[in-house]
A and B are shown apart, each in its own frame.
Chain A
Amino acid sequence: MKHSFLDQYSQGNSLIHRLDPRTKLITTLFFILVVVLTPISRWQAFALYFVLVATLIIISRVPPLYVLRRSLAIIPFVVLIAIFIPFFKEGEVAGSYNIWMWQVTVTYSGLQVFLNILAKAWLSILSLILLTATTRFSHLLKGLEQLRLPRVMVMILSFMYRYIFVLVDEVMRMKQARDSRNLGGGRLRQLRTVGNMIGTLFIRSYERGERVYAAMMARGFDGQARTLEKPSFSQRDALFALTLGLVLILVVVANLWY
């Protein structure tokens, strides 16, 4: 079975694509930090952040609709966490409703907290999607490694990337095998089948782990992970990091001023 790429648009050749993965990692992190630390009352700042990400997305030539769709996938999680805040936060009442037995009130400060979480989460997600859509996963891993992320974590991420599709295939095959032999039966029995499948999957993954480890040992692996270091920090990277950093600092300073 073939799968779409996890890093679908990462083969592009825009300015953003050509940046060193470390530059992108650090600026993304910095951007998220600044966004999260900006108080929601400064809505002008948020407008600026949005314009900034949108511009970068356009420069990167990743289809905006693709970015939007992927970002929306995250919204439900945020909403789930934040939806009740407007009802419980005390303050000036924005509206009051009677639902069956309950008197429900929504406060302005509650709404603000909700918006705060939503806006910050969305902007952060947009920047992360931009990062992953313009960087090959393998380059991202190299970047993380060069930024001194512990080698074990990089390896775990790299195995995840390598084997997620293999695992998905295995699940699909097991599902097909189950469906082709499924002759109905009660809920309980179906539940038990799913339980068995998960157990089998666990054992198979464990055994694959053993075989992969054997394959690593067969090529001289002794627990010490070695890689080729190839720093390729260019002038372009310095310029990009500097510009973005300055813009963000400007926004923060302007915010403090008003």
Chain B
Amino acid sequence: MEEIIRVDNLSFGYPDGQPALSGVSLVVHRGETIALIGPNGAGKSTLLLHFNGILHSDGVVRVLGKAVNEKNLKWVRGKVGLVFQNPDDQLFSPTVFDDIAFGPLNMGYDEAQVREVVAKALGWVGMGGYEKRSPHHLSLGEKKRIAIATVLAMNPEVLVIDEPTSNLDPGSKWSLIELLKGLAITKVIASHDLELVQALCPRAIILDRGEVVADGATSQILADERLLAAHGLARNKPAG
């Protein structure tokens, strides 16, 4: 199978000294849907920011076989679509249309292409007709869908999403899960929502304190109560 993302022994610390990732290695193949799970502060968001070069990695991250570096950043960002945790950070334009058009315009699409791809992307996330709305008057569920559309509009090879279902009510959550299931694209989803992981991702990776502690079939990982409890993903049973 073709490798879309390969990370070899990635370590990273924020400027304030806290190590956020240490020795992370993983491979994402075409067509996979992978869950990246782990407790708060495990380093999930930090890892995702390395996937498309927002945080620099000195060549230990490879996208479609090419090492990510200063020169191919733009190409990388067209291939790896990253949806941020908070849609208020992702949606910064006065209208939904402007926001979805932002990526395609940066990719150098012409006007007809931009209009076509915006309409398509809105259709994919079930938000047709929202072009003229202002992001700050949308519900959180709507914002999350639009945030996904802004990235789909760039036609990436892999969709990388940070906490897609956090703070959503159960109805919105499940309809978002259905939506993601219907998208025929390679996906990496960071979450601590085990229902989502079970419903959507055949493979799961557990990250804790910046290290990969498990990588395998979701069915096996979710069945291992001790593993989950040890990494803050299940209720800790009282001793004895």
Contacts and interface: CB of A to CB of B under 8 A. Distances in A.
Contacts of A141: 94
Interface stretch (A26-34, A183-191, A213-221, A243-251): A213-221
B193 interface: no
A162 to B, nearest CB: 6
A161 B94 contact: yes
Contacts of B91: 162
Contacts of B82: 218
B77 A214 contact: no
Contact of B106 (A3, A208, A220): A220
A210 to B, nearest CB: 9
A105 interface: no
B84 A211 contact: yes
A165 interface: yes
B77 A217 contact: yes
Given A226-B105, A226-B106, A218 B94 contact: no
Interface string B90-107: 111111001001110111
B88 interface: yes
Contacts of A162: 91-94, 134-136
Interface residues of A, number: 30
Given A162-B93, A162-B136, A218 B77 contact: yes
B74 A220 contact: yes
Q: Majority SS of interface residues in chain A?
A: helix
A49 interface: no
A71 interface: no
A84 interface: no
A34 B95 CA distance: 34
Given A2-B137, A165-B136, A219-B77, A158 B84 contact: no
A158 B74 contact: no
A138 interface: yes
Contacts of A9: none
Nearest to A165: B136
Contact of B94 (A138, A211, A215, A221): A138
A211 B88 CA distance: 10
B105 A228 contact: yes
Interface string A158-177: 11011101100000000000
A147 to B, nearest CB: 17
B131 to A, nearest CB: 11
A211 B52 contact: no
Contacts of B89: 208, 211-212, 214-215
A138 B134 contact: yes
A158 B93 CA distance: 7
A13 B180 CA distance: 38
Contact of A211 (B74, B86, B114, B136): B86
Contacts of A180: none
Interface string A1-44: 01101000000000000000000000000000000000000000
B49 interface: yes
Interface in B132-180: 134-137, 150-151, 154
A215 B135 CA distance: 15
Nearest to B151: A219
Nearest to B108: A226
Contacts of B38: none
Contacts of B106: 219-222, 224, 226
A140 to B, nearest CB: 9
Nearest to B74: A220
B77 A220 contact: yes
Listed residue (A5, A138, A161, A222) with the most chain B CB atoms within 10 angstroms of its CB: A138
A232 interface: no
Listed residue (A158, A162, A214, A217) with the most chain B CB atoms within 10 angstroms of its CB: A162
B102 A216 contact: yes
B146 to A, nearest CB: 13
Contacts of A224: 106
B94 to A, nearest CB: 4
A208 to B, nearest CB: 7
B111 interface: yes
6 closest A-B pairs by CB: A220-B106, A219-B103, A138-B94, A226-B105, A211-B89, A218-B82
Given A162-B134, A163-B92, A219-B106, 9 more contacts: A3-B136, A5-B137, A158-B93, A162-B91, A162-B93, A166-B136, A208-B89, A218-B84, A221-B102
9 contacts: A5-B137, A158-B94, A212-B89, A215-B84, A218-B52, A220-B78, A220-B107, A222-B106, A226-B105
